[in-house]
């Protein structure tokens, strides 16, 4: 039995569970496994070193699944930005039907994707940003609470408030991100007004996630306190897993005169990739959210999604009706 929401209808999936786009992690193995299990897998465009490499990864994913999957395109401010227009063209030319956008000034990307009939899900961290994206014509919103891994914005609003606050104003389908890892979270998100959940950290701790087992074991071992908030003083807050590197970044940026240049050598993306691929968990930043406190094993994606769906059905069908006198 499927779990039907406006979001599952929009993107053609069985269950309202999305694997978020994650740098170095959103590869074909993981995306295909999530899609095959009834969710929506997402490839991360900028994980691939070139637009042609992205085309090849999309084709590799197609050989692994006949079900819908999407591509994440995150637009970040940079002195030397990647060729976003070329990545966008690779996505369009490859016949992708769903794109997750995130980051700054997505208008040109959204307009181009929409003109080619692609469904756009925009990831944002504030109600005002969600409304702006809705006005730009996106098809769905992924609203990201303060619990999330990555950049939660500067408002510090947790999902328990942010999700219903957005649901009160956003008319298009909305999925909830940040802090989700089990059936309880899915039911809570639906009760708060979302039409599905987006999981990143939880999907990192699965068999198919293309990262080292030592990193997966770290996610299992950590609890809900196992994160650091970095770049706060720079107004670019990011939540990452707690390790010696992120501890050092926090320490250095406590100084009133601290600048990004003081920690640049510690936070290079290439060093994070080394950590994920070699299992040296102190080689660089490991992006992870507070949901680590709910991660106790490393299942396959099929096992995880089945568990979440069955737990959600039990809560909806048996536990909650029991409270009605």
pLDDT digits (tens, 9 = 90+) for 17-51: 999 999 999 999 999 999 999 999 999 999 999 99
Residue that has been written with the tokens 């070329």 in this structure? 86
Using DSSP, state whether 274 is helix, strand or coil.
Answer: helix
What's the pLDDT at 189?
A: 98
Q: Which segments of the chain have a pLDDT < 70?
A: 1
pLDDT tens profile 69-117: 999 999 987 778 999 999 999 999 999 999 999 998 899 999 999 999 9
In this predicted structure, what is the pLDDT of residue 325?
77
Interstrand relation of 17-19 and 41-44 (parallel, antiparallel or unpaired)? unpaired
Count CB atoms within 10 A of the CB of residue 182.
20
* CATH code 3.20.20.70 for 6-211+296-323: yes
- Where are the chain's structural domains? 6-211+296-323, 227-287
CA 207 distance to own-chain centroid = 18
- Give the per-residue pLDDT at 1: 66
- What would you measure as the largest C-alpha separation in the chain, in angstroms? 62
Note the pLDDT of residue 321. 93
CA angle 41/167/307 to nearest 5° reads: 40
Neighbours of 180 (CB within 10 A): 32
Closest by alpha carbon to 180, among 314, 293, 28, 22?
A: 293
Q: pLDDT, tens digit, for every residue of 246-256?
A: 999 999 999 99
Q: What DSSP element (H or E) covers 70?
A: strand 69-75
Task: Please give the pLDDT value at position 77.
Answer: 77
Residue 80 has a pLDDT of 86
Q: Could you give the 3-state DSSP secondary structure of residue 27?
A: coil
Contact 100, 70 (CB under 8 A): yes
Q: Other C-beta atoms within 10 Å of 223: how many? A: 11
């Amino acid at each position: 039995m499927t779990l039907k929401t406006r979001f599952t209808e929009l993107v053609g999936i069985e269950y309202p569970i999305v694997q978020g786009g994650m740098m170095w992690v959103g590869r074909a193995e993981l995306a295909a496994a999530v899609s095959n299990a009834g969710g929506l897998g997402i490839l991360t465009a900028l994980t691939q070193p070139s637009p042609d490499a992205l085309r090849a990864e999309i084709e590799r994913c197609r050989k692994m699944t006949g079900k819908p999957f999407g591509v994440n395109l995150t637009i970040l401010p940079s002195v030397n930005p990647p060729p976003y227009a070329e990545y966008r063209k690779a996505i369009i030319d490859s016949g992708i039907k769903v794109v997750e956008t995130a980051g700054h000034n997505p208008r040109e990307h959204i307009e181009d994707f929409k003109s080619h009939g692609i469904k756009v899900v925009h990831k944002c961290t504030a109600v005002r940003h969600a409304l702006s994206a809705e006005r730009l014509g996106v098809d769905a919103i992924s609203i990201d609470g303060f619990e999330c891994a990555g950049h939660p914005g500067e408002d510090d609003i947790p999902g328990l408030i942010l999700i219903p606050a957005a649901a009160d104003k956003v008319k298009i389908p909305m999925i909830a991100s940040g802090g989700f890892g089990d059936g309880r979270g899915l039911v809570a998100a639906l009760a708060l007004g979302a039409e599905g959940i987006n999981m990143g950290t939880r999907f990192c701790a699965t068999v198919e996630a293309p990262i080292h087992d030592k990193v997966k074991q770290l996610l299992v071992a950590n609890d809900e306190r196992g994160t650091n908030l970095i770049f706060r003083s720079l107004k670019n807050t990011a939540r990452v897993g707690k390790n010696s590197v992120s501890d050092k970044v926090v320490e250095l940026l406590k100084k009133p005169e601290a600048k990004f240049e003081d920690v640049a050598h510690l936070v290079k993306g290439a060093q994070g990739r080394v950590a994920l691929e070699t299992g040296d968990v102190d080689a660089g930043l490991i992006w992870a959210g507070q949901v680590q406190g709910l991660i106790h094993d490393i299942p396959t994606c099929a096992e995880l999604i089945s568990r979440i769906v069955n737990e959600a059905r039990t809560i909806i069908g048996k536990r909650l009706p029991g409270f009605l006198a």
